Structure 1
Amino acid sequence: MLLVDSHCHLDCLDYQTLHQNVDDALAKAKVRDVGYVLAVATTLPGYQAMTQLIGARDDVAFSCGVHPLNLEDSYDYGELRRLAAAAQVVALGETGLDYFYQKDNLELQQASFREHIHIGRDLDKPLIVHTRDARADTLAILREENAQDCGGVLHCFTEDRATAEVLLDLGFYISFSGIVTFRNAEQLREVARYVPLDRILVETDSPYLAPVPHRGKENQPAYVRDVAEYMAVLKGISLENLAEATTNNFSRLFHIKL
C-alpha cells in the first residue's frame, strides 16, 4: 500500500526537537505507508531554500509558487517562470486568493494568481490553489484564464458542495486535510462523501492542521494516514482502496509515475 501526502511544507517541520532531519521525518512517514510527498513552496526564496534542504530524492517532488499571503515583497514573474520550468517542479503554487487575512491588496493577489495560471498553462503543469473567503473570485479567475487547460487541485478544501461541483466541472481535483476529522466539520464531510473517488487527494498541509487524534501537535507527513483512514470510512471503502485511488489520482494530476 502506498499513500501520498499531496501537500506538505516539508521545509517547515520542527527539525530541532521533533525530527532529526528530513530523512527522519520521511522514515516516520514510510512506517505508516506514506511513501511519497509533494513539498510545496510559498515564496520563490523559500522554494530555493526548500530544494537545497531536501535535495534530489525519489520520494519527494516540488512545487514552485508564491502564496497570496506572501505578496508584501514583490517578486519577478520571469523568475517564477524560470524556476517553475525545472524538471523537479511538478506544479505551480501554492497560489490563489486569501481575503480572510488580507483585503488591502486584492488586485495584486488576483494578478499573481492569473500569472501562475498563465505559466501553468504554458508549461503544462497543474496548479495548487489556496482560497479563503474568496470563493467567487477564485472560481471566476480559474474560468476566465482557462485553468482547465493545465488542471490543478483545490488544496485543503473547506468550501461547500456547490464550489466542489464547479471545480469538478473544470476537471480539478479536491484535496482533503486533517480538517475533515475535526468535530465541527460536518459540512466538509458531506462534501467528502459527494466528491467522486477518482478526484480526491489527501494531504497534511504539514506542519499545520494535525488531524484527530494528533490535534495540538505539529503535523507531519506520517499523519496523512489518519486523514486517509478517516476518508475511507466516509467513502465506505477499505483503506487500501482509498490509498490506491488517491495515489493514482496524484500520479495522473502531477504526471508522476508511482
Structure 2
Amino acid sequence: MLFDTHVHLNADQFMDDREEVIQRALDTGVNQMVVVGFDRKTIPLAIEIAEQYDFIYAAVGWHPVDAIDMKEEDLDWIEELSQHSKVVAIGEMGLDYHWDKSPQDVQKDVFRKQIQLAKKVKMPIIIHNREATEDIVQILKEENAEECGGIMHCYNDVVDYARECLDLGFYISLGGPVTFKNATDPKIVAEEVPLDRLLIETDCPFLAPHPNRGTRNEPAYVKLVAEKIAEIKGLTLEEVAEETTKNAKKVFSLNS
C-alpha cells in the first residue's frame, strides 16, 4: 500500500487519460493520493476528482507564483472549501523565487494569510519551496505554523533546514529528485530524517523519477521513490510503504 501525497491529476497533461493513469496507480499498489489545487482553475477540478474516487482526496490553496492574482474573495473561497469532506489540507502555498511573476513581498503576504487560515480551520498546510528555504522557515516560525503543522512538499534542500522543519512538527516529503543520479541533498535527507517523519510523492506530471526522468510523471511512479528510500535506509519496500502511508494518514487526519 502506497500513499502519493502530492499529485496534479487536475493538470492538462492528464485530461485525455486520467482514468487509465489512476488505474495504473492502483495496479502498482498506490491505494491513496491527494490531488492538489492551487488556483481558480485547478481547485474545483481537484475536488471534482476527489469526489469521484473514495481513495482520492483534495488540497486547496494558492500557489506563490500566482500570489499577485489572489484576491480577498479567493481566500474566503478556500476557507469555505476547507469544510468539504474530501479536502484534507490547505496548499500548496509558500514561496517561489525562481519565477518573477509575483513580487516576493506579495508572495510572503499571501503565504502568511494562508498559514493563518489553516490555523483557523485547523488543517495542515502543504509547502511549496523553490529557492526560498530560509525565508520559508522564518515565516513558519513567525506565524507559529507548528499549530497547524503540515508537509514540506518535494523537499530538495540541505538536511539542516529539514531538521528545523521537523522541530516545527512538519513532515518531509520526498519525490522524484531522490532517485536522480546527480542529486545529493535529497539522498542525505532520506538517510537522516526518521522514517516516521517521511512522506512520498510524485508531484506528477512533474519530476518523474529515474529511469523515467524527462517523461510525464504519474502516481504509479511513486513506487520508485519508495524503493529508493528503502535502498538508502536499508529497509524493505514494504516497511517504507507501510510507515509513509501511516504518516500520511496521520497528517491528513484520515482513519481509513
**Which residue of 226, 229, 238 corresponds with 1:228?**
226
Tell me, in whole angstroms, the C-alpha distance in 1 between the residues paired with 2:143 and 2:179: 34
In structure 1, runs of 5+ residues without a counterpart are: none
1:38 equivalent to 2:38? Answer no
In structure 2, runs of 5+ residues without a counterpart are: none
Does the CA contact (< 8 Å) of 2:46 and 2:59 recur in 1? no
> The residue matched to 1:23 in structure 2 has which SS?
helix
* Residue deviations 1:18-68 (CA, integer Å, cap 9, x gap): x2xx33211100111011110001113320133235534211000000100
Q: TM-score, normalised by structure 2?
A: 0.95
> The residue matched to 1:229 in structure 2 has which SS?
helix
Tell me, in whole angstroms, the C-alpha distance in 1 between the residues paired with 2:145 and 2:60: 17
Higher deviation after alignment, 222-231 or 68-77: 68-77
- 1:86 offset after TM fit, Å? 1.9
Moved beyond 6 Å, runs of 4+:
none
Tell me, in whole angstroms, the C-alpha distance in 1 between the residues paired with 2:127 and 2:52: 25
> The residue matched to 1:240 in structure 2 has which SS?
helix
Q: Relative to 1, partners in 2 of residues 1:143 and 1:15: Cα closer, same or farther, differing over 3 Å?
A: closer
- 1:13 offset after TM fit, Å? 5.7
- 1:136 offset after TM fit, Å? 1.5
Does the CA contact (< 8 Å) of 1:6 and 1:202 recur in 2? yes
Tell me, in whole angstroms, the C-alpha distance in 2 between the residues paired with 1:88 and 1:54: 6
Tell me, in whole angstroms, the C-alpha distance in 2 between the residues paired with 1:5 and 1:80: 22
Does the CA contact (< 8 Å) of 1:44 and 1:80 recur in 2? no
**Cα RMSD, aligned residues only:** 1.5
Does the CA contact (< 8 Å) of 1:94 and 1:130 recur in 2? yes
Alignment: residue pair count: 254
Aligned residue for 2:2?
A: 3
Q: Relative to 1, partners in 2 of residues 1:41 and 1:181: Cα closer, same or farther, differing over 3 Å?
A: same
- 1:104 offset after TM fit, Å? 5.5
- 1:102 offset after TM fit, Å? 2.2
Aligned identity (percent) is 38
Tell me, in whole angstroms, the C-alpha distance in 2 between the residues paired with 1:74 and 1:122: 19
Tell me, in whole angstroms, the C-alpha distance in 2 between the residues paired with 1:106 and 1:91: 24
List aligned pairs for 1:134-149, cutoff 5 A.
134-149=132-147
Tell me, in whole angstroms, the C-alpha distance in 2 between the residues paired with 1:15 and 1:157: 24
Q: TM-score, normalised by structure 1?
A: 0.94
